[in-house]
Structure 1
């Protein structure tokens, strides 16, 4: 399961705002997750996993 949102976001080469737009959350939510102030729920983690898969498919 994805636990390091910042690392994954950087691997995807996305800004906090870009990831927030994709996940339909605020940039502040992304910041809070990355700083350990809060944690994404399971639905968001699934969406983030799917983003990784989609980006990987586009690169290949």
Structure 2
């Protein structure tokens, strides 16, 4: 079953972040700079190690 936005409802938050970043053609470093967070924060989001809250 697909969501209205075309996303997969079974996709994890980490998978969604990775997919969106790659679709935008950004590296983790570039995304971090645009969001004004550390590279480590983006890496943690993408590995599911750390929640997105607080960054």
| TM bracket (short chain) | 0.5 to 0.7
**1:36 corresponds to which residue?**
48
What is the aligned-residue RMSD (CA, Å)? 1.7
Structure 2 length-normalised TM: 0.65
Which entry has the higher C-alpha Rg, 1 or 2?
A: 2
Tell me whether 1:7 sits opposite 2:19 in the alignment.
yes
- How many residue pairs get matched? 41
Runs of 4+ in 1 over 6 A off after TM superposition: none
Unaligned runs of 5+ in 1: 45-60
- Residues of 1 paired with 2:51 and 2:26: CA distance? 19
